Structures are given as C-alpha cells and as structure tokens.
Amino acid sequence: MVFSLFVTCASAQAAVTDGENCMMCHKYPGLTRVNDEGYLRVFYVDSENYAHTVHTKVKCTGCHVDIKEIPHKEMKPVDCSTECHINNAGSEKPFSHKKIVETLKKSIHNPDNPDVRARIVEDFPSCTNCHKNPTYRFDPGDVESVDEARHKERVLQKCAVCHDNNIDYKYFFNHVTHRIKNLAPSEDVVKTCSKCHSREEMATKHKMKNAAATYLDTFHGKAVEFGMPHAPTCIDCHVKKGDSAHNIQSWRNPKSATYEPNRYKTCEDADCHANASQQFGMIRMHSVIDKDIYPIEFYVALGFTILTIGAFYPLLGLMILELIRELFPNFSLRRKKKD
Ligand code: HEC
Ligand code: HEC
Ligand code: HEC
Ligand code: HEC
Ligand code: HEC
Ligand code: HEC
C-alpha cells in the first residue's frame, strides 16, 4: 500500500518539495501494477496530500534509502529507525525513531518478551501496522469550526509580525498545535488495536481474550462508541500516565499499568474515578464468562442465574395468584358448600 495514499484530506494547494525528482514518475495515478499474488499495488503518490503529512520534510530517499540510481530497482521495506537528514531539535545529530524502537522492544509487543504466551513473530505489530502517515489538521476547511479556523489564522498572523517565512514558522506552528490539540481520536486508537485484538483466531492462538469485543461490551467501550469525552481507550488503561504510548505490558508484569495490585492508580482520575481504592482496581475490565478461562466466575454466574430463576418464578407465581385474588375476591376452585 502506498504510505502517502493513506491520507484523505486534499484541500490545500501545497505540493511536495521534490528535489529528487521522484514525482516525475510517481505523480501519475496510473502508476499501478497487479503483483504476483493478485493484489493491486499503487505506486502513485498524491503530492498535495503528501505535503500535509507529518513526514513532508523528509526527503523520499530519507526513508527509501536504497535508491541509488534512477530508474531505480525494487527496494527493501522502509525501516522506521533509519536516521533521516533532519537534525533532532536542539542538536546537530540526525533524527530517528530509534527511541521508539527501543520502547517497543521492551513492551509486550516484542515476541521475545518473557510474558508473551505464543511467540508467533508475524502476529506482532510493527510501526506501519499501527500508523499511517497522518496529515496536519490545520487546513481551515479541515478544522472543526469556522471560528477555530479563523482563530488559527489570526494566531499565525502574529508570527508574521516578527518572522519572514524564512524559518517556515507555519510548519513549526502546525507541528506543535497538531499535537497539543489532536490526540489520536479515540475511535482510531480502538480501531488500530482492534486490527489484531478483535480477531478470534488471534485470541485463541495467543490464549488471550478477544480484548476488543470484551471492551466494546463494557460501559467504557460503549462510551467511546457514543463519543463521550474522557471515555478510556486501550491506551488510557494500558499505558501509565505520561509514559510512551508504546510501553504496553502484560497485566502479569508488576511494572504494567494493569498489574492487579497497582491497577487502581491507573483508574484514578479526577474526571472519572476520583478516589479509586485498591479494591476498585480488582474489577476485571474485559469480562467474559468462560468456563475454561475463569471457572470461578463461571460457576458464580451460573449460581446467580439459578438463584435468580429459582427465586423469581415462584415469586412471580405468588404475585399472579395475589392479583387474581384481588380481581376476583370471591373466586374459588372448590365449590362453596351450600350452607
Ligand atoms: C523513471 C520513473 C521513476 C522515477 C524518477 C522514480 N520512480 Fe519509483 N517507481 C517507478 C515505477 C515504474 C515503479 C513500479 C515498479 C514496479 O512495477 O514494481 C516504482 C516503484 C517505486 C517504489 C515501490 C518499489 C518496491 O519495490 O516496493 C518506491 C518505494 C519508489 N518507487 C520510490 C521512489 C523514490 C523515492 C523516487 C525518487 C528518489 C522514485 N521512486 C523515482 C518509477 C520511478
Ligand atoms: C517517512 C518515511 C517515508 C517517506 C519520507 C516516503 N515514504 Fe514512501 N513509503 C514509506 C513506507 C513505510 C511505505 C510502505 C511500504 C514499506 O514498508 O516499505 C512506502 C511506500 C511507498 C510506495 C509504494 C510501494 C508499494 O509497496 O506499493 C511508493 C511508490 C513510495 N512509497 C514512494 C515515495 C515517494 C515518491 C516519496 C517522496 C515524495 C516517499 N515515498 C516518501 C515510507 C516513506
Ligand atoms: C501497537 C501499535 C503501535 C505500534 C506498533 C507503534 N505505535 Fe506509535 N503510537 C501508537 C499510539 C496508540 C500512539 C499515540 C497516539 C496518540 O495518542 O495521539 C503512538 C504515538 C506515536 C508517535 C507520536 C505521534 C505524534 O503525533 O506525536 C510517534 C512518532 C510514533 N508513535 C512512532 C512509531 C514508530 C516509529 C513505531 C515503530 C518503531 C511505532 N510508533 C509503533 C501505536 C503504535
Ligand atoms: C515578537 C516577535 C516574535 C513573534 C510574534 C514570534 N516569534 Fe518566533 N522567534 C522570534 C525570535 C526573536 C526568535 C529567535 C530568538 C530566540 O530563539 O528566542 C524566534 C524563534 C522562533 C523559532 C526557532 C527558529 C530556529 O530555527 O531556531 C521558531 C520555530 C519560531 N520562532 C516560531 C514562531 C511561531 C510559530 C510564531 C507564531 C505563533 C512566532 N514564532 C512568533 C520572534 C518572534
Ligand atoms: C478501562 C480500562 C481498560 C481498557 C479501556 C482496555 N483495557 Fe485491556 N485490560 C485492562 C485490564 C485491567 C486487564 C487485565 C484484566 C482483565 O483481563 O480484565 C486488561 C487485559 C487486556 C489484555 C489481556 C487479556 C488476557 O486474556 O490476558 C489485552 C490483550 C488487552 N487488555 C487489550 C486491550 C485492547 C486492545 C483494548 C482496546 C480495544 C483494551 N485492552 C482496553 C484494562 C483495560
Ligand atoms: C499486529 C497485531 C497487533 C496489534 C495491531 C496490536 N497488538 Fe497487542 N498484542 C499482539 C500480540 C501478538 C500480543 C502477544 C500475545 C501473546 O502473549 O502471545 C499482544 C499483546 C498485547 C497485550 C498483553 C496481553 C497480556 O498478556 O496481558 C496488550 C495489553 C496489548 N497487546 C494491547 C494492545 C494495544 C493497546 C494495541 C493498540 C495500541 C495493540 N495491542 C495492538 C498483537 C497486536
């Protein structure tokens, strides 16, 4: 799939700054081919969209590093920990996502993590399983309200008071405001994780619950579906406050945000559960009642069902009899003896 085709907004006039002439060929929408497995591969790059993505400042060869000549040969998949030609802010060192690779290595999403139940390497997520090439959401047509668009334009005018565009202040403005305002929308996070965690065969293979389905069954999942602000997504519960979104651990790991004895700290939140107690954290969040996984819960639930039915039906019977007596006070099945 074309990395840059993931993006959808196309309201601005900007185009890729293309010092390397890649767009000479890749600007053509017809640049497609059906591969050996029968999938359509699209090699077209939408220049306007690309210019609004977070990677717009990276040269094409900053990621597609094995292009040495044009016309070029087939190439290796992009390695997201490549150092690109952009310097890390405040230093002369080239920028890269190595730090994230390291975090990911220490997380449950590394097949070598000791908490992993089934080491099936191809089931584990890599950067592009979870990420597209997101666009900045600055285009006035793309923000939520007209007022907001106008507000942003006015703020930008302030920058122009002192800066000529020689530092590309617009780029920096977008860089910061995009992250201040836009957390990934909750539905997007749930969708990303659901790619794997909603798949029944994945759950069976890895001996875990269908996390997405069980989440959507709970109040939390429903709240996200109905667009309630502050409703917790997978990341809110599985990542400690202030930590990298990539540092996800098994609930069996004492360092994890979901480790039972410490879990209440994750629930504690001024807007949600202000004074969560340790007991509060013991509640299971992906509830399934499965005889094989949670026998205790299963038999408790079964017991309750029997109890409910056992108590309810006799009670209902009594109520009906009482009602009949009230409606027909003189009714009797036995014939009254004539006095
Ligand atoms: C002369 C035309 C031309 C130019 C210039 C060109 N490409 Fe391509 N590129 C192609 C064609 C044609 C394909 C499809 C090849 C195929 O059918 O497998 C392609 C495929 C690709 C692919 C997918 C290849 C793979 O093996 O997965 C990438 C990535 C790519 N180009 C990047 C670039 C970059 C980066 C530049 C600039 C440095 C560039 N191209 C310049 C014609 C060109
Ligand atoms: C931030 C890194 C990055 C930059 C910059 C980048 N790409 Fe890509 N590109 C990727 C990734 C990741 C893929 C998905 C395939 C892969 O994993 O190698 C991809 C896929 C492609 C493909 C499709 C190949 C296919 O497999 O169907 C083409 C064509 C392509 N890029 C061209 C370009 C061109 C042209 C530019 C510059 C305008 C560019 N890319 C800039 C990361 C990048
Ligand atoms: C299991 C899914 C997953 C994997 C794998 C993953 N990420 Fe992330 N990443 C996320 C989530 C979720 C966020 C938080 C998004 C948010 O809250 O806005 C995030 C945030 C980020 C951010 C910050 C985004 C921003 O707007 O500032 C970057 C950069 C990033 N990831 C890069 C990577 C790279 C590079 C890799 C591979 C080494 C990677 N991610 C692997 C899920 C993932
Ligand atoms: C009152 C004048 C003034 C305004 C208004 C202003 N800046 Fe600046 N800006 C400066 C000065 C002076 C510097 C350099 C000195 C410094 O580092 O403090 C600077 C530095 C910067 C830099 C760092 C450039 C570099 O290469 O190190 C960025 C980025 C920047 N400004 C963006 C913005 C943005 C975005 C806005 C609007 C929201 C803005 N500025 C508004 C005066 C201003
Ligand atoms: C309200 C907090 C919360 C939310 C939201 C949440 N989880 Fe969980 N998750 C937990 C807790 C607590 C556990 C450990 C106890 C349990 O299984 O309920 C857990 C366990 C898991 C497990 C391990 C299941 C097993 O069988 O061992 C996976 C996988 C998982 N979550 C993924 C997800 C995904 C994916 C999402 C989003 C679709 C998500 N979680 C949303 C709190 C949460
Ligand atoms: C590409 C597939 C894939 C994606 C996407 C993915 N995961 Fe996972 N996840 C896995 C695999 C595989 C395991 C390890 C299962 C095992 O132990 O064998 C795992 C394990 C987990 C566990 C630990 C379960 C335990 O043992 O307690 C949690 C929590 C989790 N993932 C949450 C998430 C969250 C949150 C996201 C979204 C940001 C996400 N995953 C995205 C494949 C994925």
Q: What is the pLDDT of residue 241?
A: 86
pLDDT of residue 248: 95
Q: Give the per-residue pLDDT at 26.
A: 93
pLDDT value for 38: 87
The C-alpha atoms of residue 245 and residue 125 are separated, in whole angstroms, by 14
**pLDDT, the chain, mean:** 82
Please list, residue by residue across 281-302, b when 16 or more beta carbons sit within 10 angstroms of its beta carbon and e when fewer do: beeebbeeeeeeebeeeeeeee
Which residues does the chain have with pLDDT short of 70?
1-16, 90, 135-146, 166, 181-184, 288-294, 297, 335-339
pLDDT for res 250: 94
What pLDDT does 12 receive?
A: 36
Interval between CA 93 and ligand 4 midpoint (Å) = 22
pLDDT at 137: 56
**pTM of this structure:** 0.80
123 lines ligand 6 (CB under 6 A): yes
pLDDT computed for residue 2 by the predictor: 41
Predicted confidence at residue 9, as pLDDT, reads: 35
Angstrom CA distances, 9 to 82, 132, 133, 142, stand at 27, 13, 12, 8
Ligand 2 nearest-atom number relative to CA 59: 5
Nearest CA to ligand 2 atom 21: 2
